[in-house]
Chains A and B, each alone.
Chain A
Amino acid sequence: MTSGTIALAIGIMMGLCVFGTAIGQGMVASKTMESMARQPEVAGKLQTAMILAMALQEALTIYGLLIAFMLIGKV
C-alpha cells in the first residue's frame, strides 16, 4: 500500500515539476525569439541570456528529480 502511494506520488510530483518549468521555458523562448526577430543584431547576446535563464529554471525541475530519486529508494 505505502510503496504504491509513494510511486504514485513520484509520478504526480515529476509531472507537476516539469509542468511549471515547461511553461517558464516556453515563455523565455518565445519572448527571446520575438526580440531576435525585432533586433537581429543582438541575437548572440540574447541567445546566451536565454540559455542562462533556461538553465536556472531547469534547476528547479532537477530539485524535483532529486526528491524523486530519494523517494524511489523507499518504494
Chain B
Amino acid sequence: MEEASALFTVGPVEISAVTLSSWVIIALLALLSWLATRNLKDVPGPLQCAAEMAVEGIENFIAGTLGKEKARKYFPIFATFFIFIIVSNYSGILPGAGQITGFAVPTACLSVTAALGLIAFGTTHTLGIRERGLGHYLKSFLKPFALMLPLTLIEQLIRPLSLALRLYGNMYGEETVTHELYNIFPILLPLVMNVLSLLFCMIQAMVFTLLLAIYVEEATAEEE
C-alpha cells in the first residue's frame, strides 16, 4: 500500500512501485499487440482473433457515442485509454498482487489518474481546435449566450479533475476494502470484494472512455 515511497533511483529520478507497475503493464501490452499483429492472416489464429474482437468491441462501443466515422478516426486514443485503464484495474485482482513488493495498482494512485485526466483534457481541446479551427472553437464557448462563459470555463476545468478523482476514488476504495477484508480474515473473505471488483473494474474503464468520447463529441460537433 505504500505507493509514494521510492523503490530505487535512476539518477535523480525516484522510481516508485506505481511507476514500475505501469511500465510493466505498458511493456506487456506493447509485446502482446506486437505478437498479435506480427503476421496477420486472412484466417486468424487465436491471438489475432482475440485482438480483432477487442478492437471491434471497443470501436462499436465508441461509435455508439461518436458515430462510425469519428470513432474510426480517433479510435487509437480511446482504445489506448480503455485498454490501459482496464488492464491496470484488473492487475489488482491477480493472485497475490497485494503481497508483491514493487507492485501497486497504477490506477489506485492519484498521480496516475491525474495524468490520465490531463491527457484527456488536452486531447479534447486539441481535437476541438483541429476539427473546427481555433476561432470557431473559442466561439463555441460563448454559446448559447456569452454570460454563460464563466460557468462553461469552470465546467471545462472540473472535467479532468472529476475524471481523475472518479477513477482514483473507485480503485483506491476497492483496494482498501479488499485489504481490510484480508486483514479481518485472509481466507475466502477478500473473494467477496474480488467478485465485485470484476464488475467495477470493467465499469470504471468504460465510464472513463465513454465520458471522454462524450467530451470529444461535444468539442468536435458540427455547427448547425
Contact = CB atoms under 8 A, between A and B. Distances in A.
Interface of A: 45, 48, 51-52, 55, 58-59, 61-63, 65-66
A59 B166 contact: yes
Q: Give the secondary structure class of B's interface.
A: helix
A62 B207 contact: no
Interface in B184-220: 203, 206-207, 210-211, 214
B169 A66 contact: yes
Contacts of A52: 207, 210-211, 214
Nearest to B206: A51
Contacts of B203: 51, 55
A65 B169 CA distance: 7
Contact of A55 (B64, B168, B211): B211
Interface size for chain B: under 10, 10 to 19, 20 to 34, or 35 or more residues? 10 to 19
The 9 closest A-B pairs by CB, nearest first: A62-B169, A55-B207, A59-B162, A65-B169, A59-B166, A62-B165, A62-B166, A52-B210, A66-B165
Contacts of A66: 165, 169
A48 B64 contact: yes
Q: Which of B168, B207, B210 has the most CB of A within 10 A?
A: B207
